[in-house]
Amino acid sequence: MNYGEHLENVFSICENKSVLEIGAFHGYISQFIEKSNPHTYYVIEPNPYAAKEGVFFGTANDYYKDECPTVDIVILMGVLYHLHSPLHLLEQIINKSKPKTIIIENTISKFEMGFSKELYNVAGNAFSDKDIATPLEWHITLPQHYYNDVMNEAGYKTDYIISNYDHLYIDEDHKTEKTKKTCWLGVYTR
């Protein structure tokens, strides 16, 4: 199976659902979400070079300042490890978007917690928020089991976890190139 086939399988749950994707960037993941035919599809993208028409341009913090719609599914693919407050974003999602399902793809932390400088970030840190005068240019990487604990405490059960991406090739023609070797993906529902 290649990574695209994996995404088609994961996002098949989006069919006829309202979906919010946070951090779409250039839309590689978005194409798989759109292919699943959601009935409503919202996208947040803070990077001005990647934002397209119909996309909320700004950070998740900008988005959640105003009244926002509730949705069935929120998708965070490669977003949380760019944030210095990933749990703050999850709080906003859970309390304001009120999704039944949250899909998270994140890096595997070799330590209990990773903490390092984010050189340039438009993925949602305060570094890119418009009303922050003194940005904190750091990000935190939490291990998978912390997210499992947090989501369970918030009333979500862990439906699906894949933590070994080594077998997912970029595509069938390039079997020597692997992708997402250091990532895990979790689907949480309530």
Tokens 């992708």 found at: 179
pLDDT in tens, 125-150: 444 556 666 667 777 888 888 999 99
pLDDT in tens, 84-96: 889 999 999 999 9
Whether residue 184 contacts residue 144, with contact meaning beta carbons closer than 8 Å, is answered with yes
Record the pTM: 0.86
145: left (phi over 0), alpha (psi -120 to 50) or beta: alpha
Pairing label, strands 157-162, 138-141 = unpaired
Burial 118-145 (b: 16+ CB within 10 A, else e): beebbbbbbbbbeeeeeeeeebbbbbbe
Across all residues in the chain, what is the average pLDDT? 83
Residue scoring higher pLDDT (132 or 103) = 103
Cα–Cα distance, 157 to 190 (Å, whole number): 6
